[in-house]
Amino acid sequence: MSRVLIIEDELVLAKNVRDKLKADGFKPEMRHNCADGLAATRKLLPDAILLDIRLPDGDGLDLLPQLLDEVPSARVIVMTAHGNERIAVNAMKAGAYEYLTKPVELDELVLVVQRAIDQRQVNDNLDYLRQQEESNSGLASIVGNSPAITKTKEAIARLIQGDVLKLDDPPTVLITGETGTGKDLAARAIHYDGPRKHKPFIQVNCTALPATLFESELFGHVKGAFTSATGAKRGLFEVAEGGTIFLDEIGHLELDLQAKLLQAIEHREFRPVGATETRSIDVHIIAATNRDLNEAVEAEEFRRDLYHRLRVVQFHLPPLRERVGDISALADYFLQKHCDRFKTPLKKLSAAARTRMERYSWYGNVRELSHVLESAILQTDDLIDVNHMMLGDRQSGDISESHMDGDVNLTFGDGRQIVLDFEQGCPPLDEIEAMILSAAYEHTGGNLSRAARILGITREALRYRLNKAAENADRCTSSG
Q: pLDDT confidence of 477, banded at 50, 70, 90?
A: low
Mean pLDDT of the chain: 86
Comparing CA positions, the residue from 199, 207, 205, 191 lying closest to residue 238 is 199
Query: What's the pLDDT at 22?
Result: 94
Comparing CA positions, the residue from 39, 37, 69, 68 lying closest to residue 51 is 37
Q: Which helix (H) or strand (E) holds 135?
A: helix 106-135
Q: Give the whole-angstrom CA distance, residue 249 versus residue 237.
A: 17
Q: What is the DSSP string of 209-222?
A: S-HHHHHHHHHEE-
Comparing CA positions, the residue from 65, 1, 61, 63 lying closest to residue 31 is 63
Query: What's the pLDDT at 232?
Result: 87
Query: What's the pLDDT at 394?
Result: 37
Q: pLDDT confidence of 425, banded at 50, 70, 90?
A: low
Query: What's the pLDDT at 240?
Result: 92
Q: pLDDT confidence of 402, banded at 50, 70, 90?
A: very low
Query: What's the pLDDT at 150?
Result: 95
Query: What's the pLDDT at 403?
Result: 46
Query: What's the pLDDT at 395?
Result: 34
The residues, any chain, with a CB within 8 Å of residue 211's CB and separated by 6 or more, are 254, 257
Evaluate whether 3 touches 36 at the Cβ level (below 8 Å).
Answer: no
Q: pLDDT confidence of 434, banded at 50, 70, 90?
A: confident
What region, left, alpha or beta, does residue 297 occupy, with left being phi > 0 and alpha being psi -120 to 50 degrees?
Answer: alpha
* Cα angle value 327/177/366 (rounded, 5°): 25
Q: What percent of the chain has pLDDT over 90?
A: 53
Query: What's the pLDDT at 29?
Result: 95
Which structural domains are found in the chain, ordered by start?
3-131 (3.40.50.2300), 148-318 (3.40.50.300), 321-388 (1.10.8.60), 399-479 (1.10.10.60)
Average pLDDT of span 391-409: 49
- The sign one gets for the Cα dihedral 436, 438, 444, 447 is positive
The per-residue pLDDT for range 254-289, each reduced to its tens digit, is 898 999 999 999 999 999 999 888 989 899 999 999
3-state secondary structure of 201: strand
The per-residue pLDDT for range 344-398, each reduced to its tens digit, is 999 999 999 999 999 888 888 999 999 999 999 998 888 999 989 888 643 334 4
Query: What's the pLDDT at 443?
Result: 74
Comparing CA positions, the residue from 476, 472, 438, 470 lying closest to residue 455 is 438
Residue 8, pLDDT > 80, answer: yes
Average pLDDT of span 411-436: 63
Residue type for position 422: F
Query: What's the pLDDT at 412?
Result: 56
**C-beta neighbour count of 300 within 10 angstroms:** 9
Q: What percent of the chain has pLDDT over 70?
A: 87
Least-confidence region, from 187-196, 249-258, 434-443: 434-443
Q: Give the whole-angstrom CA distance, residue 30 versus residue 44.
A: 11
Beta bridge partners of 408: 403, 420
Q: pLDDT confidence of 457, banded at 50, 70, 90?
A: confident
Higher pLDDT, 392 or 406: 392
Average pLDDT of span 116-129: 76
Least-confidence region, from 24-33, 199-208, 229-238, 443-452: 443-452
Query: What's the pLDDT at 144?
Result: 94
Distances (CA, A) of 473 to 29, 413, 434, 452, 477: 82, 21, 9, 21, 6
Comparing CA positions, the residue from 247, 228, 229, 224 lying closest to residue 237 is 247
Evaluate whether 21 touches 113 at the Cβ level (below 8 Å).
Answer: yes
Terminal Cα distance for the chain, rounded? 81
Higher pLDDT, 453 or 478: 453
Rounded to 10°, the helix 327-342/365-377 angle is: 50
**C-beta neighbour count of 394 within 10 angstroms:** 13
